[in-house]
Structure formats: structure tokens, C-alpha cells
Amino acid sequence: MRPTVRVVLAEDGVLLREGLAGLLGRFGFEVVAAVGDAEALLAAAAEHEPDLVVTDIRMPPGFSDEGLRAAVELRRARPGLAVVALSQYVELSYAAELLDSRDGVRVGYLLKDRVVDVEDFVSALRRVVEGGTVVDPTVVRQLLRRSRDPLSRLSAREREVLALIAEGHSNSAITRILHISDATVGKHVGNILAKLDLPLTDDKHRRVLAVLTYLRGTA
């Protein structure tokens, strides 16, 4: 039995906030506070000392990146805090800022629409809480599109695998998702890392960061 993960949730849309709170409760998270703006998020995090903060990036009063600012601030104060930021659209600078905070350990950057795939969403949250890094596949796809170099060097299948690596999946998880053999996944991962001149490692967290760092460097 895993220990209960205590969550502070920040989302300004009431409907979605309630939906998310219900979802987290259903999957064994304990939502200790659900708030509607960044100020309240900071206060609730200080009061409850949660394990995980799930926050919308765009919140009142300015509706720009208040949630992200709060998340980065919380991470600075408590390095171990897991943070998952939800964004309406892919904004690479947001993702970059999160990943740069405390080496990108225990952070997630997901598109808001992901929450409707409840099981995937919950498993992404768990990966972050367990020390992983999760980046929305759209981010990887964008980075791949923007980086001129690996685009030509990776096959379509390898790019697919790369996106899954960036999402923080282990080799066995990729095996399950793509319905291919363990050996094939191992071969793809090896090829990708070799082609991008990245260190060969099975540590999925370090893998994610290596891949993202590489892609951001070439984008």
C-alpha cells in the first residue's frame, strides 16, 4: 500500500477544479486544498505542506502565468515538492522554466486536455511524485519539429519512442504502449541515444532530461 499523496490543487475554473478534485480522490490522492488563484495556492501550500501541487498555469488575477510563477517559487522554497503544471497550450518557455527548476526532478508539464484521459493523467502524476519528470508529448513533438538536426536522423518509430521517453516512461512501459517487444524497445532507445550522442542509461529520469536538454539545445 502506497502512502497517501497529499495534494494542493489550483485551478480557477470551478467545474474543472471540482472534477479534478473528484478524480484525485477517486484514485487515492488526498486533496488537502483546492484553490482558485496563485495567492491562495501559495498560502495553502505553506499551510498544508503537500507532497504534490497540481496547478493551472494561467490564473487570476492577471491570467498570464501566475500558476507557473507560484510553482517555481514553491519549488525554490521546498526542493522536494512535486509540481505538475497544466497549460492550455504548449508554451516551450513555460516547460523550460519548470524543467530548469531544481534539475527538473519531480516536475510535470502537461496540456490541460490530458486530464480527461484519467488513468494516463493519474499515472503521470504518480511518476512525478516518485521522482520522475513528465513532459507532454506535444512538447517533444514541437521540439522535434523545431530542431533541424535529429529530425533527419531519427526514424518515425524512433521519434515516437523519443516522445514516450520524454513523457518519463520506462522501457517496459514503452513496450506495453507500443505493443512491441522489450528487445525492440531496447534497440530503439539505444539507437536514439546513440544518434543524439546521449549517454546510454536506463534511468528514465536522467533519460528524460538528457533528451529534453538535447532537443532544447538544437531547437
Partner 1 sequence: MTSTDPRNPLESVARRRFLISSWPWRSAGYLLTTAGPALAAAVPFAVLALPWAAALSSRHGFGARTVFAALGALLVAGLGPLVALPLAGVERRRLRLVDTRPVTSGHVPASGAARWLRVRYGEAATWRELGYACLLLAAAPVLYGAFFMIALFVVGLAASPLLAGNGSGRAGEPLALGPVKIDSVAEALPYGAAGLVLLAALPYAAALLAGAHAALARALLGRGSGERLRAELVEVSRSRARLVDAFEAERRRIERDLHDGAQQRLVSLTLKLGLVRVELPPGSEAGRDVADAHEEAKLLMTELRELIRGIHPRVLTDRGLPAALAELADRSPVPVTVRADLPERLPPHEEGTAYFVAAEALANVAKHSRATRAALTAATRGRTLVLEVEDDGRGGADPGRGTGLTGLADRVAVIGGRMLLSSPAGGPTLLRVEIPCGRRSE
Q: Contact residues for partner 1 (CB under 8 A)?
A: 13, 15-16, 18-20, 22-23, 26, 58, 63-64, 88-93, 112-113, 115-119, 142, 145-146, 148
Nearer to partner 1, 49 or 117 (CB): 117
Minimum separation from the CB atom of position 89 to partner 1 (A): 5
Minimum separation from the CB atom of position 128 to partner 1 (A): 19
Nearer to partner 1, 142 or 184 (CB): 142
Nearer to partner 1, 179 or 183 (CB): 179
Nearer to partner 1, 11 or 51 (CB): 11
R_g of the chain computed on alpha carbons: 17
Minimum separation from the CB atom of position 34 to partner 1 (A): 14
Minimum separation from the CB atom of position 65 to partner 1 (A): 8
Contact 201, 174 (CB under 8 A): no
